[in-house]
A and B are shown apart, each in its own frame.
Chain A
Amino acid sequence: GQQLNQSPQSMFIQEGEDVSMNCTSSSIFNTWLWYKQEPGEGPVLLIALYKAGELTSNGRLTAQFGITRKDSFLNISASIPSDVGIYFCAGPHANSGYALNFGKGTSLLVTP
């Protein structure tokens, strides 16, 4: 089945630093999604990408859909303590077209 490889697994940074994480897929995706999950909560959609090469921003967050359609990255600029959480990339599930296949997540810790 599809494999989503997300890196890094975790990041420990200081407030104000920029963050970059990426995701690669073993197969071509038509959609890339980035979610944030806080402890004890469901994931919340941050950015959705629908076209190869697309670069989309949401406040301090920027994500790009790779040209090969097999990768995507998420950048967070000027991190703040409330950015703490686990960030997941996701794409369409192979078996259930409308469900999602998630990466393993990047755990972000931000120190003041």
Chain B
Amino acid sequence: GAVVSQHPSRVICKSGTSVKIECRSLDFQATTMFWYRQFPKQSLMLMATSNEGSKATYEQGVEKDKFLINHASLTLSTLTVTSAHPEDSSFYICSAKTGADTEAFFGQGTRLTVV
């Protein structure tokens, strides 16, 4: 199946700094990518949907100025957590689709810890 790769797999940063997480589709072109957040022992919650070349659509309650999403190419989307705080510590997972009638493939996730 298609491969979606996230980098880094885990990152620790200081409070107030920014962190960038990359999501790449390795063997297919992803017209749409999704970013989810998962707190410990909880489910995945959709944060935003990004389409290549256009602005991301954020879910209610997700601050677009804090979670900057860029989908500049068909194989790469980035999520930047700006001015990170301990409450932003979570597992961030991306997924990617090639089109409307295809399944979404998930990355392996990024564990963010803000200290």
Nearest opposing residue in chain B for A41, CB measure: B108
Candidate in A33, A98, A102 with the most chain B CB atoms within 10 angstroms: A98
How many residues on A have C-beta within 8 angstroms of the other chain's C-beta atoms?
A: 21
How many residues on B have C-beta within 8 angstroms of the other chain's C-beta atoms?
A: 25
Stretch in B11-19, B39-47, B64-72 touching the partner = B39-47
In whole angstroms, how far apart are the Cα atoms of A40 and B113 in the complex?
13
Which residues 96-115 in B have Cβ within 8 Å of A in the complex? 97, 100, 103-109, 111
B interface residue numbers (CB < 8 A to A): 4, 6, 9, 32, 34, 42-46, 49, 57, 59, 93, 95, 97, 100, 103-109, 111
| For the complex of A and B, 5 pairs with smallest distance between CB atoms | A42-B106, A96-B49, A102-B43, A42-B109, A102-B44
A interface residue numbers (CB < 8 A to B): 33, 35, 40-45, 48, 88, 93, 95-96, 98-105
